[in-house]
Chains A and B, each alone.
Chain A
Amino acid sequence: MSDAYVAQEMIAARPRPNEVRKADWTFARLLGSLSILCWIAAGIGLVVFLITSYDQSQIDKYAPRYFDGFLTTMKLVALSVSIGAVLSLPIAFGRMSSNKIVRNLSFGYIYFFRGTPLLAQLFLFYYGFGSFRHFWQDLNLWWFFRDAWSIALLSFSLNTAAYQAEILRGAIMNVPKGQHEGAASLGLPPMVTFFKIILPQALIVALRPYGNEIILMIKGSAVVSIVTIFDLMGHTRRAFSQTLDYQTYLYAAIFYLLVVEIMRRLWDLLEHRLTRHLRR
């Protein structure tokens, strides 16, 4: 037996090569420092601008309105997201139904609401449906279609229902088939299977997209200001048209950023808590 392949003598380990010393000022570092400086300058500029143009009487006048607008925005988002969540259940089921007509109908619904801008939908509902005054009066529904608030709520709910239906469908399809089979083999009725086994698992998957959808709704709700609803954006636009002061928009921006950031953090906490059994 030959042992020619065995090394005859041990080769000593070599020291690690010297690390290539990085230049102190790389292009990236220069660019990064410059951009940070730009942000700091922008931040200082913002603060200085807001302080120098500070006017107590304006603040007194507009702060309660902004707060009121903020409440309107939150109310609109909370209501439409909840109504949309309820509506999305049948739509998501329709989309997964074995009946071709039902499937196509819900597909059409989702396609329409996801394929057109929220602004166009809002105009269609508010001005378009509002033009059939006599029809609604005959149905005794004119009070509903006359009111900008209820129409905004309606179109937002229908819009978010389409998006939520897609989220829900994706999440339900994501639940492994064995879960259905296991529940069936235990003899559980379909309703129990769905609400106790499928839905809880699907909702965990859907948590993140749901959070994104709520944030999109908070941002998207700004368009209601165009149909004369005084949400945060609506009060901002009115304040701007009355004072022609640019800081009205800056305050609104700070407000919206805070709301969205807080919402995002809260949702992260919620997700962290609800998925604690999945972590190792």
Chain B
Amino acid sequence: MELLSLLSYGSEGWGDEILASIGVTISLALATLPFGLLLGFLLALGINSRESSLQISAKIFTTIFRGLPELLTLFIVYYGAQILGNFLFQTVFGTTIEINSFVAGMVALGFVFSAYASEVFLSAFKGINQGQYEGSAALGLSRFQTMRLVIIPQLIKLALPGLSNLWLILLKETSLVSVIGLADVVRITGVAARVEKEPFLFFSLACLIYLALTFLSSAGLERIEKNARRGEVRS
């Protein structure tokens, strides 16, 4: 019972702090997602493009961010942005700037996410028949219209399983941002563990929270995938 009171909601327990930290973890992952998806899609377009310079530069990007450890990427973005921002602000405004760890985490995780997402989009592009492009051209659709009306709706369906996997990885990777001081689940449970000297309780709680998040998102993603497949013949 004494242990449970540590988790209570209010000034004595850690319940409210931990709930807030779950919010931070989820919002970081949700904020990274659109940025990473868009960048990943553009990277896939770049790699698919006939323009070799675009191909090469997109490949450099994915090679770098798939090869670096996420933790190192985070530090490089965090301190690099700090130094660069300070330098720019110093010369322009004569003041310094504090880089938000949330934004740094979002950018770093978004870069990594997009590098992996580009692979998923690439293999999804391969699953789309050449005839789809030819058909759209025959209908007189512009390239942008072809992409928006014909290719992307099919692409999403093909890319969904891979993207759901990446979402689960992203959700777990947000834990790294605790190292640069963002008050996410791992950070807050770590503080609680140190203050209350109950590391086992709090870190198991952290693991359980991530398990619950994984479980909920995989249930949600399954529904989305089912919804995306609703046009297919049931086998």
Contact = CB atoms under 8 A, between A and B. Distances in A.
Contacts of B75: 237, 240, 249
Contacts of A36: 53, 56-57
A249 B203 contact: no
A128 B190 CA distance: 10
B69 A222 contact: yes
Interface string B36-70: 00000000001001111111111010011011111
B54 A28 contact: yes
Given A127-B193, A219-B68, A252-B72, A115 B214 contact: yes
A256 B68 CA distance: 6
17 contacts: A32-B52, A32-B54, A116-B172, A120-B186, A121-B207, A123-B193, A123-B199, A123-B206, A124-B206, A124-B207, A127-B200, A233-B71, A253-B68, A256-B67, A257-B63, A260-B67, A261-B63
Interface string A222-247: 11011000000100110010000010
A34 to B, nearest CB: 9
Mostly helix, strand, loop or mixed at chain A's interface?
A: helix
B72 A226 contact: no
Interface of A: 26, 28-29, 31-33, 35-36, 38-39, 111-112, 115-121, 123-124, 127-132, 218-223, 225-226, 233, 236-237, 240, 246, 249-250, 252-253, 256-257, 260-261
A233 B69 contact: yes
Contacts of A132: 200
A131 B200 contact: yes
Contacts of B46: 32, 35
B172 A257 contact: no
Interface stretch (B13-21, B175-183, B226-234): B175-183
Interface residues of B, number: 49
Contacts of B58: 35
Contacts of A123: 186, 190, 193, 199, 203, 206
B83 interface: yes
A237 B176 CA distance: 15
Given A32-B53, A131-B198, A249-B75, A116 B207 contact: yes
